[in-house]
Amino acid sequence: MDRKKLSWYLDRLSKMSLKETFWRLDLLVNQPDLSKTREIPLSVASEEMRKNAPELGAKPKVSSKIREEAVSRGEAALRHEIEFFGEKITLPTPFFWLRDPLTGKQSPRKDFLEINYRELGDEISVMRVWFLNRHYHLADLAKAYAVTEDEKYAEEIISQLNSFMKECAYPFGLPWTTAMEVAMRLLVWCHVYRLMAFKLPKCFTEAFALSFLTAVKRHYEHVKFNRSRFSSANNHALAELTALLTAQKTFPTLFANEKENWEEELTKEAEAQFSKRGVNLEAAYSYHAFSLELLCAAACVSSEFLAKAKETLNAAGLFMARANRMMKLCGEYGDSDEAAATGLIARDDAYYENVTKLALALSSDSASESEEIEEDYQWYVMKSAPAVTTEDRVHYSKDVGMFWKGKTGDGAEVEFFFLTDPLGYGSLAAHGHADALSFTMSVNGVPVFIDPGTGNYHLDRKWREYFRSTAAHNTMTAENESQSKSLGPFMWKNKYRVEIECDSMTENGFDLSARHYGYKRRFGLTHRRTLVFAAEEGKLTLKDETLGCDGVTARQYFHLSKQCEAIQKNAKEILIKGPSFEISVEFFDVRSVRLIVGDENMPLGFCSAHLGKREPCGVIATETNCIGQDALISSFKIKNLK
């Protein structure tokens, strides 16, 4: 074992309690051999098909628009056209479940315990293989069957499931390497079955039911034994518990002897991972939406869980109602792998809005019954979400940050988000970015200062580290180091602390101030940022203070959207041109100001719209030496050209 790998294992061990360490050893030593799972009795399959299936729901009534969409997506799935992280790919017939769908390279077909999915090389993306094997596209086929009752869609589902169960029989291949991936597939299978249950297709024979339900049982047992706990219990735990609960409710005869109360376990996990104000604590907006959809999926199959989680669903939905526009305009904070819970809601531009409406439809007393499915979220529940009027100024200070929306004196519409959240959830903070005191801003509905995105997870380590680093966000670095030290792609050394000092917001502007202590141990430095916006003038004043340091090189970064052009007027002034506005930026206390676009050596000046993708973007970068208590002041003057 090389030094880097040994160092990672030691760092990972340092994040575990003694109890967790022994639990993980037990997983390795006592891993059950599920290949010996007995085929379920014919009587069980018969009861699930003839008695239980019809009770799962009636044939869905859908609008003409939803019918057209369902048939269109079903036809695309028949042609094996599947989208992976913003790229549409046509897969061969038959499917090769262990191949990277983009490169065609084969991943190992061996016992999952012998596979290190972090070391597959640059030509195999474990994320693409995993997402293919989540079977989201089967939900499109099931929707098309549900609205047409055309057997061709069901036949394709059965064909693909048979193909998967043959090629990826337990315990072979990447589809079994994490309980999360097994759970996601199980959850999708349950909802595919529920969509067809009103009238099981002719091809869903007893012979197929025996093999399918045996595979369902095997998935359930694998997740149950290996589910994420202790330091790994983030959104993975929510997905696994939701899958276990959904399987129990979907196949009551198959799991008649199960004693676990998954509602209670899931309730505890939801309360741990969401704040009282409904913000998911992973410090990643995409995972907020994904986790919320998981909880909604659980609430749709269990009235007991819905009763327990109603307040969380409502608060989390209201948070999204306020945050969606800003996240869509200027980019999401934290990681995003573009995951969805079941495939019932497509992971497209309307995903966040659909999850928001789903949560509010389930949790609001003013939600009304719907006669037919008119929007994607209603594949879960036949209710219409109530209209929500969001406030222009919302404080989520301790959970994530502060939102402000208003107009300048000359009529420019400004939206602003100041990030004051902790690094992330649990000891790993796996999906958080080192982005304390960063901000994003739009003018007249056009993004100006953006969050650059995620980059990738498991491929080139250089880019994983860059996109989660402090330098990849609109904040300040000390000695160009991140606010917390990275110990691996999903692990940070120390979680910095953020303190909010001022959060005054009115229609006339805002006065926001916070500090973080991420550099305290290394440089004796506390970073305080103050942002003051005078709406009438259209002027933002930013002050970065370095408190208590003996001397560091401070750098500020401001990442620009592709819809804006930056022009350097002189050594300390930048002009940002948008379609309907200009912003004059002046830096008063820095040594140098540069415009950087796509420098791969630093690296600096990149954004990532989808996982695994990156492209150049403009960055304003300043640099200066700070000694003692220094203040770096800059101004941003907005001029409306409408």
**Length, in residues, of the chain:** 642
Say what the pLDDT of residue 405 is.
97
| 554, 633 contact by CB (below 8 A) | no
Nearest-5° angle of CA 440, CA 441, CA 446?
125
State the DSSP H helix or E strand holding residue 627, giving kind and residue range, or none if neither.
strand 618-640
| 168, 215 contact by CB (below 8 A) | no
| 477, 471 contact by CB (below 8 A) | yes
Q: Is 83 helix (H, G, I), strand (E, B) or coil?
A: strand
For the record, the structure tokens of 294 come out as: 């998981």
Say what the pLDDT of residue 96 is.
94
Q: What is the mean pLDDT of residues 24-29?
A: 88
Residue 284 CA, distance from chain mean position: 6
Q: Tens digit of pLDDT for each residue in 182-197? A: 999 999 999 999 999 9
Measured CA to CA, the distance from residue 114 to residue 92 in angstroms comes to: 28
Say what the pLDDT of residue 548 is.
87
Q: What is the mean pLDDT of residues 431-454?
A: 98
Task: List beta partners, residue 90.
Answer: 81
| 572, 578 contact by CB (below 8 A) | no
Extents of the domains making up the chain: 1-30, 58-229, 393-640
Does residue 452 have a cis bond before it (omega within 30 degrees)?
A: no
Q: Is 526 helix (H, G, I), strand (E, B) or coil?
A: strand
3-state SS of 315-327 is: HHHHHHHHHHHHH
For the record, the structure tokens of 367 come out as: 């939600």
Measured CA to CA, the distance from residue 463 to residue 486 in angstroms comes to: 13
Measured CA to CA, the distance from residue 241 to residue 269 in angstroms comes to: 9
For the chain, give percent helix, strand, coil, nearest 5. 40, 25, 35
Say what the pLDDT of residue 122 is.
84
Q: Tens digit of pLDDT for each residue in 96-112? A: 999 999 999 999 999 99
Q: What confidence tier does 642 reach under pLDDT thresholds 50, 70, 90?
A: confident
What mean pLDDT is reported for the chain?
95
Q: What is the mean pLDDT of residues 434-453?
A: 98
Q: Tens digit of pLDDT for each residue in 463-489? A: 999 999 999 999 999 999 999 999 999
Nearest-5° angle of CA 563, CA 567, CA 571?
145
Measured CA to CA, the distance from residue 134 to residue 128 in angstroms comes to: 10
Say what the pLDDT of residue 594 is.
97
Measured CA to CA, the distance from residue 436 to residue 516 in angstroms comes to: 7
Q: Is 549 helix (H, G, I), strand (E, B) or coil?
A: strand
Kindly state the percentage of the chain with pLDDT values over 90. Answer: 90
At 529, give phi and psi (nearest 5°): -120, 130
- If one compares 498 and 4, the residue with the highest pLDDT of the two is 498
For the record, the structure tokens of 322 come out as: 């306020």
- Tell which residue, 473, 472, 420, 414, has the closest CA to residue 448: 414
| 550, 599 contact by CB (below 8 A) | no
Residue 28 has pLDDT above 70, yes or no: yes
**Identity of the amino acid at 399:** D
For the record, the structure tokens of 29 come out as: 């030593």
| Contact residues for 374 (Cβ-Cβ < 8 A; gap 6+) | 63, 65, 66, 384
Nearest-5° angle of CA 472, CA 475, CA 478?
90
Residue given tokens 């415009």 in the structure block: 595
Q: What confidence tier does 385 reach under pLDDT thresholds 50, 70, 90?
A: very high
| Contact residues for 507 (Cβ-Cβ < 8 A; gap 6+) | 392, 393, 406, 535
Residue 89 CA, distance from chain mean position: 22
Count of Cβ atoms closer than 10 Å to residue 402 Cβ: 23
Q: Tens digit of pLDDT for each residue in 592-630? A: 999 999 999 999 999 999 999 999 999 999 999 988 788
Q: What confidence tier does 417 reach under pLDDT thresholds 50, 70, 90?
A: very high
State the DSSP H helix or E strand holding residue 13, giving kind and residue range, or none if neither.
helix 3-14
Q: Tens digit of pLDDT for each residue in 251-302? A: 999 999 998 999 999 999 999 999 999 999 999 999 999 999 999 999 999 9
CB-side exposure of 202: number of CA atoms within 13 Å?
4
Q: Which residues of 303-339 are buried (b: 16+ CB within 10 A; e: fewer)?
A: eebbebbbebbbbbbbbbbbbbbbbebbbbbbbbbbb
Output Rg (C-alpha) for the chain, integer angstroms.
25
Q: Outline where 497-543 has alpha helix (H).
A: 520-523
Q: Please give the CATH topology (third level) of the domain spanning 58-229.
A: Glycosyltransferase (1.50.10)
| 457, 337 contact by CB (below 8 A) | yes
Measured CA to CA, the distance from residue 452 to residue 21 in angstroms comes to: 36
Beta strand spans in 305-373 (E): 368-369
Say what the pLDDT of residue 39 is.
84
| Start-to-end Cα distance in the chain | 62
Task: Judge if pTM exceeds 0.95.
Answer: yes
Measured CA to CA, the distance from residue 467 to residue 431 in angstroms comes to: 11
For residue 344, give Cα distances in angstroms to 187, 190, 514: 11, 11, 40
Q: What is the mean pLDDT of residues 117-145?
A: 95
Measured CA to CA, the distance from residue 370 to residue 301 in angstroms comes to: 18
Decide if domain 393-640 falls under CATH 3.40.50.880.
no
Q: What is the mean pLDDT of residues 439-452?
A: 98
Q: Outline where 149-284 has alpha helix (H).
A: 151-167, 179-196, 206-226, 235-250, 262-273
Q: What is the mean pLDDT of residues 309-338?
A: 96
**Identity of the amino acid at 338:** E
Count of Cβ atoms closer than 10 Å to residue 247 Cβ: 27
Q: Which residues of 37-76 are buried (b: 16+ CB within 10 A; e: fewer)?
A: eeebeeebbebbbeeebeebeeebebeeebbebbbebbeb
